[in-house]
Protein backbone atom coordinates (compact mmCIF):
# COMPACT_ATOMS: atom_id res chain seq x y z
CA UNK A 1 0.00 0.00 0.00
CA UNK A 2 1.18 3.48 -0.84
CA UNK A 3 2.32 5.51 2.17
CA UNK A 4 1.21 9.10 2.08
CA UNK A 5 3.50 11.82 3.31
CA UNK A 6 1.93 15.06 4.48
CA UNK A 7 3.35 18.27 5.89
CA UNK A 8 1.81 18.60 9.32
CA UNK A 9 1.50 22.21 10.43
CA UNK A 10 1.46 21.02 14.03
CA UNK A 11 4.96 19.54 13.82
CA UNK A 12 6.17 21.62 10.86
CA UNK A 13 7.45 18.46 9.25
CA UNK A 14 6.61 16.13 6.42
CA UNK A 15 5.49 12.91 8.07
CA UNK A 16 4.33 9.46 7.05
CA UNK A 17 0.58 9.32 7.33
CA UNK A 18 -0.66 6.49 9.57
CA UNK A 19 -4.43 6.58 10.02
CA UNK A 20 -5.92 5.89 13.43
CA UNK A 21 -8.22 3.37 11.79
CA UNK A 22 -7.47 2.40 8.18
CA UNK A 23 -11.05 1.15 7.93
CA UNK A 24 -12.32 4.68 8.60
CA UNK A 25 -9.89 7.45 7.75
CA UNK A 26 -11.42 10.69 8.99
CA UNK A 27 -10.88 14.23 7.69
CA UNK A 28 -12.48 17.54 8.61
CA UNK A 29 -12.16 20.66 6.46
CA UNK A 30 -13.47 24.09 7.37
CA UNK A 31 -16.17 25.06 4.92
CA UNK A 32 -17.61 28.40 3.92
CA UNK A 33 -19.70 30.98 5.70
CA UNK A 34 -22.80 30.96 3.56
CA UNK A 35 -23.60 34.61 3.03
CA UNK A 36 -22.70 34.90 -0.66
CA UNK A 37 -21.31 33.14 -3.74
CA UNK A 38 -17.96 31.45 -3.18
CA UNK A 39 -15.11 33.53 -4.55
CA UNK A 40 -12.11 32.00 -6.26
CA UNK A 41 -10.10 31.96 -3.04
CA UNK A 42 -12.79 29.90 -1.34
CA UNK A 43 -12.38 27.32 -4.07
CA UNK A 44 -8.71 26.61 -3.50
CA UNK A 45 -9.01 24.58 -0.28
CA UNK A 46 -11.96 22.77 -1.81
CA UNK A 47 -9.87 21.59 -4.75
CA UNK A 48 -6.76 20.91 -2.66
CA UNK A 49 -8.62 18.76 -0.16
CA UNK A 50 -10.66 17.14 -2.90
CA UNK A 51 -7.40 15.83 -4.34
CA UNK A 52 -6.43 14.49 -0.92
CA UNK A 53 -9.90 13.00 -0.52
CA UNK A 54 -9.62 11.24 -3.87
CA UNK A 55 -6.17 9.98 -2.97
CA UNK A 56 -7.36 8.64 0.39
CA UNK A 57 -10.27 6.94 -1.33
CA UNK A 58 -7.87 5.38 -3.80
CA UNK A 59 -5.51 4.11 -1.13
CA UNK A 60 -7.96 3.03 1.58
CA UNK A 61 -11.11 2.45 -0.46
CA UNK A 62 -14.05 4.87 -0.83
CA UNK A 63 -16.07 3.25 1.93
CA UNK A 64 -13.16 3.62 4.34
CA UNK A 65 -12.87 7.38 4.13
CA UNK A 66 -14.99 9.96 5.94
CA UNK A 67 -14.76 13.56 4.85
CA UNK A 68 -16.76 16.23 6.65
CA UNK A 69 -16.92 19.83 5.50
CA UNK A 70 -19.19 22.19 7.38
CA UNK A 71 -21.34 25.16 6.47
CA UNK A 72 -21.19 28.14 8.79
CA UNK A 73 -24.76 29.37 8.64
CA UNK A 74 -24.77 31.64 11.65
CA UNK A 75 -22.81 34.80 11.11
CA UNK A 76 -23.17 38.56 11.22
CA UNK A 77 -22.73 38.89 7.46
CA UNK A 78 -25.68 36.57 6.89
CA UNK A 79 -27.74 38.58 9.33
CA UNK A 80 -26.74 41.79 7.59
CA UNK A 81 -27.78 40.46 4.18
CA UNK A 82 -31.13 39.25 5.53
CA UNK A 83 -31.72 42.58 7.22
CA UNK A 84 -30.86 44.40 4.00
CA UNK A 85 -33.43 42.33 2.14
CA UNK A 86 -36.06 42.98 4.75
CA UNK A 87 -35.45 46.71 4.57
CA UNK A 88 -35.65 46.48 0.78
CA UNK A 89 -39.17 45.15 1.24
CA UNK A 90 -38.69 41.40 1.09
CA UNK A 91 -41.59 39.58 2.73
CA UNK A 92 -41.22 37.25 5.70
CA UNK A 93 -39.63 37.31 9.12
CA UNK A 94 -35.95 37.98 9.52
CA UNK A 95 -35.48 34.39 10.56
CA UNK A 96 -37.12 33.22 7.34
CA UNK A 97 -34.99 35.58 5.30
CA UNK A 98 -31.84 34.28 6.99
CA UNK A 99 -32.91 30.75 6.28
CA UNK A 100 -33.67 31.62 2.67
CA UNK A 101 -30.28 33.24 2.27
CA UNK A 102 -28.32 30.32 3.71
CA UNK A 103 -30.33 27.78 1.71
CA UNK A 104 -29.71 29.50 -1.59
CA UNK A 105 -26.05 30.07 -0.81
CA UNK A 106 -25.53 26.41 0.07
CA UNK A 107 -27.17 25.38 -3.19
CA UNK A 108 -24.89 27.76 -5.11
CA UNK A 109 -21.88 26.47 -3.28
CA UNK A 110 -22.63 22.87 -4.15
CA UNK A 111 -23.29 23.72 -7.78
CA UNK A 112 -20.11 25.76 -8.12
CA UNK A 113 -17.89 23.20 -6.40
CA UNK A 114 -19.45 20.39 -8.43
CA UNK A 115 -18.43 22.33 -11.51
CA UNK A 116 -14.84 22.30 -10.28
CA UNK A 117 -14.96 18.51 -10.17
CA UNK A 118 -14.96 18.38 -6.37
CA UNK A 119 -16.60 15.27 -4.95
CA UNK A 120 -19.21 15.80 -2.26
CA UNK A 121 -18.06 15.01 1.29
CA UNK A 122 -19.20 11.66 2.58
CA UNK A 123 -19.34 9.49 5.65
CA UNK A 124 -17.69 6.16 4.90
CA UNK A 125 -18.27 6.83 1.25
CA UNK A 126 -21.93 7.71 1.64
CA UNK A 127 -22.78 11.24 0.59
CA UNK A 128 -25.27 12.81 2.97
CA UNK A 129 -26.32 16.06 4.59
CA UNK A 130 -24.46 14.91 7.68
CA UNK A 131 -21.18 15.03 5.81
CA UNK A 132 -21.87 18.68 5.02
CA UNK A 133 -23.25 19.73 8.41
CA UNK A 134 -24.70 23.13 9.21
CA UNK A 135 -23.66 24.88 12.38
CA UNK A 136 -27.26 25.67 13.31
CA UNK A 137 -28.03 21.94 13.50
CA UNK A 138 -25.40 21.50 16.20
CA UNK A 139 -26.13 24.33 18.61
CA UNK A 140 -27.17 21.85 21.32
CA UNK A 141 -23.80 20.10 21.07
CA UNK A 142 -22.04 23.44 21.22
CA UNK A 143 -23.93 24.40 24.37
CA UNK A 144 -23.02 21.08 25.96
CA UNK A 145 -19.39 21.62 25.08
CA UNK A 146 -19.34 25.17 26.40
CA UNK A 147 -21.02 24.01 29.59
CA UNK A 148 -18.33 21.37 30.04
CA UNK A 149 -15.60 23.93 29.51
CA UNK A 150 -17.08 26.14 32.23
CA UNK A 151 -17.27 23.15 34.58
CA UNK A 152 -13.62 22.37 34.00
CA UNK A 153 -12.58 25.96 34.57
CA UNK A 154 -11.59 26.63 30.98
CA UNK A 155 -14.36 29.12 30.33
CA UNK A 156 -16.38 31.71 32.20
CA UNK A 157 -19.62 33.59 31.73
CA UNK A 158 -19.47 37.36 31.82
CA UNK A 159 -21.87 40.02 30.70
CA UNK A 160 -24.09 37.62 28.74
CA UNK A 161 -21.03 36.20 26.98
CA UNK A 162 -19.10 33.05 27.60
CA UNK A 163 -15.37 33.37 27.07
CA UNK A 164 -12.63 30.83 26.74
CA UNK A 165 -9.90 31.29 29.30
CA UNK A 166 -6.86 31.15 27.05
CA UNK A 167 -4.39 31.12 29.94
CA UNK A 168 -5.95 27.87 31.16
CA UNK A 169 -4.61 26.00 28.12
CA UNK A 170 -0.87 25.73 28.26
CA UNK A 171 -0.30 24.78 24.63
CA UNK A 172 -2.22 27.75 23.25
CA UNK A 173 -0.31 29.14 20.26
CA UNK A 174 1.57 25.94 19.52
CA UNK A 175 -0.06 25.29 16.15
CA UNK A 176 0.61 28.75 14.80
CA UNK A 177 3.92 29.23 16.55
CA UNK A 178 2.96 32.20 18.64
CA UNK A 179 3.19 32.99 22.30
CA UNK A 180 0.31 34.64 24.08
CA UNK A 181 2.62 37.27 25.50
CA UNK A 182 4.04 38.18 22.10
CA UNK A 183 0.57 38.58 20.70
CA UNK A 184 -0.49 40.87 23.47
CA UNK A 185 2.71 42.84 22.89
CA UNK A 186 1.57 43.13 19.29
CA UNK A 187 -1.46 44.90 20.75
CA UNK A 188 -3.96 43.94 18.11
CA UNK A 189 -6.38 42.10 20.33
CA UNK A 190 -9.85 43.27 21.00
CA UNK A 191 -10.14 44.64 24.48
CA UNK A 192 -13.47 44.19 26.16
CA UNK A 193 -13.94 45.22 29.77
CA UNK A 194 -15.56 41.95 30.76
CA UNK A 195 -12.64 39.82 29.54
CA UNK A 196 -10.34 38.43 32.19
CA UNK A 197 -7.53 38.53 29.68
CA UNK A 198 -7.35 40.33 26.36
CA UNK A 199 -6.64 37.06 24.52
CA UNK A 200 -9.81 35.32 25.72
CA UNK A 201 -12.22 34.64 22.89
CA UNK A 202 -15.96 34.30 22.64
CA UNK A 203 -17.70 30.93 22.88
CA UNK A 204 -21.19 32.37 23.20
CA UNK A 205 -22.60 35.84 22.78
CA UNK A 206 -25.98 37.42 23.41
CA UNK A 207 -28.37 38.07 20.53
CA UNK A 208 -30.48 41.16 20.12
CA UNK A 209 -34.01 40.98 18.73
CA UNK A 210 -32.76 41.37 15.17
CA UNK A 211 -30.30 38.52 15.43
CA UNK A 212 -30.94 34.79 15.42
CA UNK A 213 -30.71 33.31 18.87
CA UNK A 214 -31.02 30.09 20.84
CA UNK A 215 -31.94 29.60 24.46
CA UNK A 216 -29.00 28.71 26.62
CA UNK A 217 -27.96 28.68 30.28
CA UNK A 218 -26.50 32.15 29.58
CA UNK A 219 -29.59 33.62 28.01
CA UNK A 220 -30.73 33.90 24.44
CA UNK A 221 -27.69 34.03 22.23
CA UNK A 222 -25.61 32.51 19.49
CA UNK A 223 -22.33 30.67 19.32
CA UNK A 224 -18.97 32.23 18.63
CA UNK A 225 -17.35 31.21 15.39
CA UNK A 226 -14.79 28.66 16.55
CA UNK A 227 -16.93 26.40 18.72
CA UNK A 228 -18.98 25.04 15.82
CA UNK A 229 -16.07 23.18 14.26
CA UNK A 230 -15.03 21.69 17.57
CA UNK A 231 -18.55 20.51 18.27
CA UNK A 232 -19.26 19.14 14.81
CA UNK A 233 -15.90 17.41 14.48
CA UNK A 234 -16.42 15.76 17.85
CA UNK A 235 -19.96 14.68 17.06
CA UNK A 236 -19.19 13.33 13.58
CA UNK A 237 -15.57 12.19 13.79
CA UNK A 238 -14.94 11.51 17.47
CA UNK A 239 -12.42 12.75 20.02
CA UNK A 240 -9.50 11.84 17.78
CA UNK A 241 -9.41 11.95 14.02
CA UNK A 242 -6.79 11.98 11.32
CA UNK A 243 -6.72 15.17 9.32
CA UNK A 244 -7.96 18.71 9.77
CA UNK A 245 -7.60 21.08 6.84
CA UNK A 246 -8.27 24.63 5.82
CA UNK A 247 -6.76 27.80 4.45
CA UNK A 248 -3.64 29.21 6.03
CA UNK A 249 -5.57 32.25 7.18
CA UNK A 250 -7.54 29.97 9.48
CA UNK A 251 -4.43 28.75 11.25
CA UNK A 252 -4.77 31.63 13.65
CA UNK A 253 -7.00 32.26 15.42
CA UNK A 254 -9.62 29.82 14.19
CA UNK A 255 -7.71 26.56 14.34
CA UNK A 256 -5.75 27.55 17.40
CA UNK A 257 -9.03 28.20 19.18
CA UNK A 258 -10.55 24.97 17.93
CA UNK A 259 -7.63 23.05 19.36
CA UNK A 260 -7.85 24.85 22.71
CA UNK A 261 -11.58 24.18 23.04
CA UNK A 262 -11.39 20.58 21.94
CA UNK A 263 -8.31 19.68 23.92
CA UNK A 264 -9.79 21.16 27.09
CA UNK A 265 -13.27 19.69 26.57
CA UNK A 266 -11.94 16.23 25.65
CA UNK A 267 -8.56 15.92 27.34
CA UNK A 268 -8.27 12.24 26.46
CA UNK A 269 -8.59 12.77 22.74
CA UNK A 270 -6.00 14.03 20.27
CA UNK A 271 -8.51 16.11 18.30
CA UNK A 272 -6.81 16.25 14.87
CA UNK A 273 -3.47 14.53 14.45
CA UNK A 274 -2.43 16.07 11.15
CA UNK A 275 -3.12 19.71 10.33
CA UNK A 276 -2.89 20.82 6.73
CA UNK A 277 -3.05 24.39 5.49
CA UNK A 278 -3.18 25.61 1.93
CA UNK A 279 -1.53 28.89 0.98
CA UNK A 280 -3.58 31.75 -0.28
CA UNK A 281 -4.69 32.75 -3.74
CA UNK A 282 -3.60 35.80 -5.67
CA UNK A 283 -4.83 37.31 -8.91
CA UNK A 284 -2.21 38.54 -11.37
CA UNK A 285 0.28 38.77 -8.53
CA UNK A 286 -1.91 40.63 -6.07
CA UNK A 287 -4.20 39.65 -3.28
CA UNK A 288 -7.74 39.31 -4.53
CA UNK A 289 -9.76 42.06 -2.95
CA UNK A 290 -12.76 44.16 -3.74
CA UNK A 291 -10.77 47.35 -3.33
CA UNK A 292 -8.29 46.33 -6.03
CA UNK A 293 -11.14 45.46 -8.37
CA UNK A 294 -9.77 41.96 -8.99
CA UNK A 295 -12.38 40.18 -6.95
CA UNK A 296 -14.50 37.54 -8.61
CA UNK A 297 -16.46 34.44 -7.81
CA UNK A 298 -16.24 30.95 -9.22
CA UNK A 299 -19.59 31.56 -10.87
CA UNK A 300 -18.24 34.68 -12.60
CA UNK A 301 -15.58 32.55 -14.29
CA UNK A 302 -18.00 29.78 -15.20
CA UNK A 303 -20.36 32.36 -16.69
CA UNK A 304 -17.50 33.70 -18.80
CA UNK A 305 -17.33 30.25 -20.37
CA UNK A 306 -14.26 29.07 -18.48
CA UNK A 307 -14.92 25.41 -17.69
CA UNK A 308 -14.56 24.24 -14.11
CA UNK A 309 -11.91 21.76 -15.23
CA UNK A 310 -9.75 24.61 -16.46
CA UNK A 311 -10.00 26.33 -13.08
CA UNK A 312 -9.16 23.04 -11.42
CA UNK A 313 -6.14 22.47 -13.67
CA UNK A 314 -4.81 25.95 -12.92
CA UNK A 315 -5.15 25.23 -9.20
CA UNK A 316 -3.28 21.94 -9.56
CA UNK A 317 -0.41 23.66 -11.36
CA UNK A 318 0.74 25.07 -8.03
CA UNK A 319 1.63 23.13 -4.91
CA UNK A 320 -0.89 23.71 -2.13
CA UNK A 321 1.65 25.19 0.28
CA UNK A 322 2.71 27.90 -2.17
CA UNK A 323 0.72 31.00 -2.95
CA UNK A 324 -1.23 30.42 -6.15
CA UNK A 325 -1.49 33.12 -8.75
CA UNK A 326 -4.55 33.12 -10.99
CA UNK A 327 -3.52 34.61 -14.34
CA UNK A 328 -5.01 34.81 -17.80
CA UNK A 329 -1.93 33.10 -19.18
CA UNK A 330 -2.33 30.05 -16.96
CA UNK A 331 -5.94 29.83 -17.99
CA UNK A 332 -4.83 29.60 -21.63
CA UNK A 333 -2.25 26.92 -20.87
CA UNK A 334 -4.80 24.90 -18.92
CA UNK A 335 -7.37 25.17 -21.69
CA UNK A 336 -4.87 24.00 -24.32
CA UNK A 337 -3.64 21.09 -22.24
CA UNK A 338 -7.08 19.81 -21.36
CA UNK A 339 -8.21 20.05 -24.95
CA UNK A 340 -5.17 18.02 -26.03
CA UNK A 341 -5.86 15.35 -23.44
CA UNK A 342 -9.50 15.18 -24.35
CA UNK A 343 -8.90 14.99 -28.10
CA UNK A 344 -6.06 12.49 -27.95
CA UNK A 345 -7.62 10.39 -25.19
CA UNK A 346 -10.86 10.19 -27.10
CA UNK A 347 -9.03 9.22 -30.25
CA UNK A 348 -6.56 6.65 -28.99
CA UNK A 349 -7.87 5.26 -25.71
CA UNK A 350 -10.21 2.32 -25.35
CA UNK A 351 -12.79 3.90 -23.05
CA UNK A 352 -14.15 0.57 -21.89
CA UNK A 353 -10.70 -0.61 -20.91
CA UNK A 354 -9.79 2.77 -19.43
CA UNK A 355 -12.65 2.38 -16.97
CA UNK A 356 -11.00 -0.80 -15.71
CA UNK A 357 -7.54 0.80 -15.60
CA UNK A 358 -5.90 2.10 -12.44
CA UNK A 359 -4.57 5.67 -12.39
CA UNK A 360 -0.89 5.81 -13.33
CA UNK A 361 1.36 4.86 -10.40
CA UNK A 362 3.66 7.81 -11.13
CA UNK A 363 0.75 10.15 -10.49
CA UNK A 364 -0.26 8.37 -7.30
CA UNK A 365 3.34 8.56 -6.09
CA UNK A 366 3.53 12.27 -6.88
CA UNK A 367 0.35 12.94 -4.93
CA UNK A 368 1.42 10.67 -2.09
CA UNK A 369 4.43 12.92 -1.61
CA UNK A 370 2.63 15.77 0.12
CA UNK A 371 0.17 16.28 -2.72
CA UNK A 372 2.65 17.26 -5.40
CA UNK A 373 -0.03 18.11 -7.91
CA UNK A 374 2.32 19.90 -10.24
CA UNK A 375 4.49 16.84 -10.57
CA UNK A 376 1.33 14.80 -11.11
CA UNK A 377 0.40 17.05 -14.00
CA UNK A 378 3.81 16.72 -15.63
CA UNK A 379 3.38 12.96 -15.37
CA UNK A 380 0.23 13.34 -17.47
CA UNK A 381 2.38 14.70 -20.27
CA UNK A 382 4.67 11.72 -19.98
CA UNK A 383 1.71 9.34 -20.24
CA UNK A 384 0.75 11.17 -23.39
CA UNK A 385 4.30 11.12 -24.72
CA UNK A 386 4.53 7.37 -24.12
CA UNK A 387 1.11 6.72 -25.66
CA UNK A 388 -0.25 5.19 -22.43
CA UNK A 389 -3.72 6.26 -23.49
CA UNK A 390 -5.89 4.13 -21.23
CA UNK A 391 -3.87 5.14 -18.20
CA UNK A 392 -4.00 8.76 -19.27
CA UNK A 393 -7.77 8.67 -19.46
CA UNK A 394 -8.09 6.78 -16.17
CA UNK A 395 -5.77 9.24 -14.46
CA UNK A 396 -7.56 12.31 -15.79
CA UNK A 397 -10.77 10.84 -14.43
CA UNK A 398 -9.11 10.10 -11.10
CA UNK A 399 -7.77 13.64 -10.79
CA UNK A 400 -11.21 15.04 -11.55
CA UNK A 401 -9.85 16.90 -14.57
CA UNK A 402 -11.78 15.04 -17.24
CA UNK A 403 -14.31 12.46 -16.08
CA UNK A 404 -14.93 9.37 -18.22
CA UNK A 405 -18.22 10.95 -19.14
CA UNK A 406 -16.33 13.83 -20.75
CA UNK A 407 -14.55 11.50 -23.13
CA UNK A 408 -17.76 9.71 -23.95
CA UNK A 409 -19.55 12.96 -24.69
CA UNK A 410 -16.70 14.04 -26.91
CA UNK A 411 -16.88 10.75 -28.79
CA UNK A 412 -20.61 11.03 -29.28
CA UNK A 413 -20.21 14.56 -30.53
CA UNK A 414 -17.53 13.54 -32.99
CA UNK A 415 -19.72 10.76 -34.29
CA UNK A 416 -22.47 13.27 -34.96
CA UNK A 417 -19.96 15.67 -36.52
CA UNK A 418 -18.57 12.98 -38.77
CA UNK A 419 -22.08 12.41 -40.10
CA UNK A 420 -22.34 16.11 -40.89
CA UNK A 421 -19.08 15.91 -42.80
CA UNK A 422 -20.10 12.95 -44.93
CA UNK A 423 -19.04 13.58 -48.49
CA UNK A 424 -17.14 16.76 -47.75
CA UNK A 425 -13.84 14.94 -47.30
CA UNK A 426 -14.23 13.26 -50.67
CA UNK A 427 -15.20 16.52 -52.30
CA UNK A 428 -12.16 18.28 -50.92
CA UNK A 429 -9.90 15.43 -51.98
CA UNK A 430 -11.32 15.49 -55.49
CA UNK A 431 -10.92 19.24 -55.80
CA UNK A 432 -7.36 18.94 -54.57
CA UNK A 433 -6.48 16.21 -57.04
CA UNK A 434 -7.81 18.37 -59.84
CA UNK A 435 -5.96 21.40 -58.52
CA UNK A 436 -2.71 19.47 -58.39
CA UNK A 437 -3.03 19.02 -62.13
CA UNK A 438 -4.33 22.50 -63.03
CA UNK A 439 -2.19 24.35 -60.46
CA UNK A 440 -5.23 26.40 -59.62
CA UNK A 441 -5.87 25.94 -55.93
CA UNK A 442 -8.53 28.65 -55.49
CA UNK A 443 -11.45 26.22 -55.21
CA UNK A 444 -9.54 24.06 -52.71
CA UNK A 445 -8.59 27.04 -50.61
CA UNK A 446 -12.15 28.36 -50.62
CA UNK A 447 -13.54 25.09 -49.31
CA UNK A 448 -10.71 24.78 -46.81
CA UNK A 449 -11.36 28.28 -45.48
CA UNK A 450 -15.05 27.54 -45.12
CA UNK A 451 -14.29 24.36 -43.21
CA UNK A 452 -11.87 26.12 -40.89
CA UNK A 453 -14.45 28.84 -40.31
CA UNK A 454 -16.89 26.10 -39.31
CA UNK A 455 -14.42 24.82 -36.73
CA UNK A 456 -13.04 21.90 -38.69
CA UNK A 457 -9.35 21.14 -38.68
CA UNK A 458 -8.17 20.41 -42.22
CA UNK A 459 -5.24 18.03 -42.56
CA UNK A 460 -3.86 17.51 -46.05
CA UNK A 461 -0.86 15.37 -46.76
CA UNK A 462 0.34 13.45 -49.73
CA UNK A 463 -1.54 10.47 -48.30
CA UNK A 464 -4.84 12.26 -48.58
CA UNK A 465 -7.25 14.55 -46.81
CA UNK A 466 -8.53 14.27 -43.27
CA UNK A 467 -11.13 16.42 -41.55
CA UNK A 468 -11.15 16.60 -37.78
CA UNK A 469 -14.03 18.51 -36.20
CA UNK A 470 -12.74 20.76 -33.42
CA UNK A 471 -14.47 21.64 -30.15
CA UNK A 472 -16.17 24.64 -31.79
CA UNK A 473 -17.44 22.72 -34.81
CA UNK A 474 -20.65 24.27 -36.07
CA UNK A 475 -22.43 22.16 -38.74
CA UNK A 476 -24.77 25.06 -39.51
CA UNK A 477 -21.86 26.86 -41.13
CA UNK A 478 -21.49 24.02 -43.61
CA UNK A 479 -25.02 24.36 -44.94
CA UNK A 480 -23.93 26.93 -47.50
CA UNK A 481 -21.49 24.44 -48.99
CA UNK A 482 -24.08 21.86 -49.81
CA 341 to chain centroid: 22
Q: Going by C-beta distance under 8 Å and a sequence separation of 6 or more, which residues neighbour residue 108?
A: 37, 38, 299
- Contact between 461 and RNA (CB under 7 A)? yes
Q: Does 481 bind RNA (CB under 7 A)?
A: no
Of 13 and 153, the one with the shorter C-beta distance to RNA is 13
Point out which span in 151-159, 298-306, 418-426, 453-461 binds RNA (CB under 7 A). Answer: 453-461
Q: How far is the CB of 444 from RNA (least distance, A)?
A: 4
133 lies in the binding site for RNA (CB under 7 A): no
Determine the interface stretch with RNA among 86-94, 389-397, 400-408, 435-443 (rule: CB under 7 A).
435-443
What is the distance between the alpha carbons of residues 168 and 166, in angstroms, rounded to a whole number?
5
Residue 210 or 457 having the CB closest to RNA: 457
d(CA 336, CA 385): 16
Residue 185 DSSP SS3: helix
Residue 315 per-residue DSSP state: H
Q: How many angstroms separate the Cα of 61 from the Cα of each of 64, 125, 328?
A: 5, 9, 37
Per CB under 7 A, does 441 bind RNA?
Answer: yes
Q: Which is nearer to RNA, 19 or 212 (CB)?
A: 212
| CA–CA separation, 200 and 167 (whole Å) | 8
Contact between 154 and RNA by CB under 7 A: the answer reads: no
Residue 252 is a binding residue for RNA (CB under 7 A): yes
| Near RNA by CB under 7 A: residue from 460, 474, 475, 477 | 460
Map the footprint of RNA across residues 272-311, applying CB under 7 A: 278-282, 286-289
**Number of amino acids touching RNA (CB under 7 A):** 79
How near is the Cβ of 281 to RNA at its closest, in Å? 4
- Report the residue from 103, 340, 350, 426 that binds RNA according to the rule CB under 7 A: 340
Which one of 95-103, 107-115, 186-194, 262-270 is the stretch in contact with RNA (CB under 7 A)? 186-194
3-state secondary structure 63-76: HHEEEEECEECCCH
Whole-number minimum distance, CB 371 to RNA, in Å? 10
Q: Which of residues 13-72 bind RNA (CB under 7 A)?
A: 30, 32-33, 39, 41-42, 44-45
Give yes or no for residue 208 binding RNA (CB under 7 A).
no
Report the residue from 333, 351, 429, 450 that binds RNA according to the rule CB under 7 A: 333
Return d(Cα 13, Cα 276) in angstroms, integer. 11
Contacts of 332 (CB under 8 A, 6+ apart): none
Between 211 and 235, name the residue whose CB sits nearer to RNA.
Answer: 211
Q: Is 336 in the site for RNA (CB under 7 A)?
A: yes
The burial class, CB within 10 Å (0-12 / 13-18 / 19+), for 197 is middle
Q: Does 11 bind RNA (CB under 7 A)?
A: no
Task: Give the nearer residue to RNA in terms of CB position, either 127 or 332.
Answer: 332
Please give the Cα distance from 3 to 5 (Å, whole number).
Answer: 7
110 versus 432: smaller Cβ distance to RNA: 432
Residue 323 lies near RNA (rule: CB under 7 A)? yes
Segment 377-406, which members bind RNA (CB under 7 A)?
A: 378, 381-382, 385
In terms of Cα–Cα distance, which of 7, 8, 6, 10 is closest to 173?
10
- Dist CA 165 CA 163 (whole Å): 6
Residue 312 φ/ψ, nearest 5 degrees: -60, -45
Choose the stretch contacting RNA; rule: CB under 7 A; options: 103-111, 112-120, 206-214, 440-448: 440-448
Burial of 392 (0-12, 13-18, 19+ CB in 10 A): buried
Closest distance of CB 184 from RNA, Å: 9
Footprint (CB under 7 A) of RNA, residues 74-93: 75-77
CA-CA distance, 444 to 460, in Å (whole number)?
11
92 CB contacts (<8 Å, ≥6 apart)?
A: 86, 100
Q: Does residue 188 interact with RNA by CB under 7 A? A: yes
Backbone angles phi, psi at 376, to 5 degrees: -60, -40
Q: Select from 58-66, 144-152, 181-189, 299-307 the region that touches RNA (CB under 7 A).
A: 181-189
For position 215 contacting RNA by CB under 7 A, the verdict is no
Amino acid sequence: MVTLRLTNTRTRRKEDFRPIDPADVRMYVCGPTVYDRAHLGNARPVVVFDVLYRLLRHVYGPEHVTYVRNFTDVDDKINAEALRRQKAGAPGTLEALIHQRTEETIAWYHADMDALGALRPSIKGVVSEKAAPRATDFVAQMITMIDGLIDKGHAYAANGHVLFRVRSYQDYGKLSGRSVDDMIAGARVEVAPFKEDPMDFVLWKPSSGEEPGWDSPWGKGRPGWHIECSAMAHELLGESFDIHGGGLDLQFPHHENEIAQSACAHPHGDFARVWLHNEMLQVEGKKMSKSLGNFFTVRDLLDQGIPGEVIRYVFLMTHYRSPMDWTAEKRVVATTKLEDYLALGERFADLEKARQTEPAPEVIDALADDLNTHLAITELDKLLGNARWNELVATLNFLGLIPFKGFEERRAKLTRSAAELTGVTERLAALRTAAMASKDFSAVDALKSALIAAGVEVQMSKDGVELVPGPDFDPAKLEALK
